[in-house]
Amino acid sequence: MAAPSEGFWQRRGWFGLYELLQSWWRHRISFLLSLSITLVALTSYYLVFLQETRTPLSELAQRLELATLDTRFRYRPARFAHPDPRIAIVDIDQKTQEVLGRWPFSRTYFAQLLDALHADGAAAAAFDITFSKPDQIASPLRSLRASLEAPRQNSEPVDARVIGEINRLVAEYDADAKFAAAIRRFGPVILGNYFLFTPADLQGLSDATLDSYANQISFFAFPPAHPMRPESEKQDKLHLMEDFAAAGLLPRGAEANLDTLTSAMQGDSSWTGFFNFPPDNDGVVRRATLVLPYGRSQNPEQWDLYSSLGLVAARALLGQEAQDTNLFYGPTGIWKISFGSKAAIYPDGRGQ
């Protein structure tokens, strides 16, 4: 039997193309509908996520995206609809202030709270509060002691017993010292740092104060960041910083806790983490930011990454096996945050 000629295969090819066109024409409506939906989706993605300049159309597309995100979250699967029952929130509400007085109240109560949680077997405690200023309950006694100890002309020396009694009262009412002692007794305690993003946040804070706060939290830079491409480490880190800047996620300052409290934290499970996240354009916080870059240097390459309160609290809760926490980043941003051999999470490129 003779083999098919070249002309036969050409005719068969043209016939196949003709059949394909016929099939397309029969399904032209569904094809055009699918193509239109795809083009609309790609255009919306470009307007919302890729376009650098904001336009009325892009803002409309972003509002629609946020609305659909809320709807998707509202109808999420039931297994994600309830918080972990092992997590307890101790809230400061109106009833709290009715019992303990006007906020801010004495840190003696925070010390008592930690002792109570420790007695009940809590594995870790995290405070979404920044204790940046000394407790004021003993300030009148300190002022009295300073005035009595100040040298005075033509005045009799103050009785040493009076000074001793004042010192005893200062120690008795030193709420910060009591809180620090409770932190040492508890163990895995995470204190909150507050990042400052807007000029309004920075009002009343001098450069010297911001530098001091930056030095205080520099010890708690975490987690260690590892490039996935060591040969492009500098370029990838710079791109990561630019991505954070484009999203408005570069803090201009930070507020840290008192040295008295941070020095009381012992072990790798005790740490600090930020607890404030920039909201979306409509003022709603929908994403948890796990890490943020921060530094006072003009060169972003010298900045460190800092963990959120939730991230370091999860690390403390997961136990000793999770202490070796590391972050990995590449050309598209953050890729993975691993809690040792215990767990790993894969956020988006900005760590959200």
Is 290's pLDDT higher than 90?
A: yes
Query: Which of 156-160, 215-219, 244-248 is least confident?
Result: 156-160
Query: Which of 1-10, 86-95, 136-145, 334-343 is least confident?
Result: 1-10
Closest CA to 224 of 293, 305, 312, 323: 305
Tell me the pLDDT band of 341, cut-offs 50, 70 and 90. confident
Top pLDDT among 313 and 40 is at 313
Top pLDDT among 137 and 76 is at 76
Closest CA to 267 of 186, 200, 335, 192: 186
Is 148's pLDDT higher than 90?
A: no
Is 249's pLDDT higher than 50?
A: yes
* β pairing state of 253-255 and 189-196: antiparallel
Tell me the pLDDT band of 1, cut-offs 50, 70 and 90. very low
The pLDDT score that the predictor gives to residue 305 is 92
Is 152's pLDDT higher than 60?
A: no
Mean pLDDT of 160-176: 69
Is 3's pLDDT higher than 90?
A: no
The pLDDT score that the predictor gives to residue 8 is 47
Top pLDDT among 135 and 244 is at 244
Is 9's pLDDT higher than 50?
A: no
Tell me the pLDDT band of 312, cut-offs 50, 70 and 90. very high
Is 115's pLDDT higher than 90?
A: yes
Residue extents of the structural domains in the chain: 18-80, 94-136+176-345, 138-172
Most confident of 117-121, 168-172, 266-270: 117-121
Type of residue found at 261: L
Question: Could you tell me if 217 and 259 are in contact, meaning their C-beta atoms sit under 8 angstroms apart?
Answer: no
Mean pLDDT of 224-234: 88
Residues of the chain with pLDDT > 90: what percent? 26
Mean pLDDT of 182-190: 93
Is 340's pLDDT higher than 90?
A: no
Interatomic CA distance for residues 61 and 69, integer angstroms: 12
Task: Count each helix (H run) and each strand (E run) in the chain, helices first.
Answer: 13, 10
The pLDDT score that the predictor gives to residue 60 is 72
